[in-house]
Amino acid sequence: MLKIFGGPSRYMQGAGALERLGEVAAWFGKRAVLVADSYVHGVLGGRLAALCAGHGVALRPLIVDSDLTPDLVERLRAQAAAQPFELVIAAGGGKSLDAGKAVAHAAHCHLVTVPTVASNDAPTSKNYVLYDAHHQLLAVEHMAFNPTAVIVDTAVIATAPPLFFRAGLGDAISKKFEAAQCLGAGGRNMYDGASTLTAQYIADGCLATLLADGEAALAAAGTGQPTPAFERAVEAMILMSGLGFESGGLSIAHALTRGLPRIAGVATALHGLQVAVGLLVQLDLEQRDDDMLARLRRWYGKVGLPASLRDLGATTPDRQAIDEAAALTLKARHAAHFARTLTQRELADALLRHF
């Protein structure tokens, strides 16, 4: 199996990075579409259009305010294709970025992502998630290539509520452990290849950075004033985490996001918060002989991450729902990236231990 490493062509981060948008957009053409939700468009749409216009790029908005379903993807693609364009700019949270990826994928054109929150590592990845009409995860699709450019304005990110930053911590903290399990099991990464050592080292660095700076960085979330610790944590949560999971691979912590929504009260929890609990379950199943599980529990307490299913919103340890969650999890591709083959009973018992 070939080793494959991938990522965005250009990553820009810092307070004021958004001012580079027009320059970047002009590299690819004179006509672009902006994919964003109505809130982000209302707050930033005018600024984004002005930045692009300053470099001779016309920006046409496509508004997305719901889950990305196959029907919505077709509508967005038809709206985009109504007029010629050379570039997609996706701004906002994970759903808006995913919608932008779907449009760029169909048009086979360049994509620039502009995250407004650091709740996950979607900005750098080629993956986008589709849901069914009942808001259940339907499929994970893949662009042929990663976004061409990622513009992370930390002054914008720092205005988002701390809850979203906390979710980003939960999503990113798992990557070292998932990449290690995927590598050990001979699993395939998101490029259908084996992990490089580079990806493993990036995932290691992501963990080290978050343990060192996550607590201090969280204090800056919502203030609009990025600090050095905030800058380092955002880089870990978006760039290191994104490269680590796509080129390193995933395992049980992310596979559990397929099953956990079957447990009453959990479905509405943010993705990163579900991953945080999923990581504790994974480390439990690893039967580690070090103190990492205890160490992470202490860190979770400092940054306010959920450490149990009850913390995610579950109220009753319903064995049938737990069994269904375990069964769905084991059907996920990433569940096979583990040191041993897990049984439904083994995984369900682990979930009950973390209720």
Is 254 flagged in the annotation as binding?
Answer: yes
Residue with tokens 């994928």: 105
Tell me the two tokens of residue 323.
Answer: 């069994």
Q: Is 41 annotated as a binding residue?
A: no
- The single residue listed with the structure tokens 């919505």 is 72
State yes or no: 119 annotated in a binding site.
Answer: yes
Residue 23 has a CB neighbour count (10 Å cut-off) of 13
Within 13 Å of residue 232, how many CA atoms lie on the same side as its CB?
A: 16
Q: For residue 162, which of 215, 232, 99 has the smallest C-alpha distance?
A: 215
Say if residue 96 carries a ligand binding annotation.
yes
Distances in Å between the Cα of 105 and the Cα atoms of 49, 131, 143, 168, 348 are 22, 17, 5, 25, 37
CA distance 70 to 59: 25
Would you say 113 is a known binding-site residue? no
Q: Would the annotation count 9 as a binding residue?
A: no
Binding site annotation covers 37?
yes
The answer on whether 125 is annotated among ligand-binding residues is: yes
To the question of whether residue 131 is assigned a binding role by annotation, the answer is yes
Strands 149-152 and 87-92, sheet pairing: unpaired
CA of 149: how far to CAs of 35, 111, 117, 145, 224, in Å?
15, 7, 17, 11, 23
Is residue 97 a known part of a binding site?
yes
Is residue 171 annotated as involved in ligand binding?
yes
Question: Has 121 been labeled as part of a binding site?
Answer: yes
Which tokens belong to 20?
A: 């580079």
What are the binding residues for NAD(+)? 37, 94-98, 116-119, 125, 131
What are the binding residues? 37, 94-98, 116-119, 121, 125, 131, 171, 254, 271
What are the binding residues for glycerol? 121, 171, 254, 271
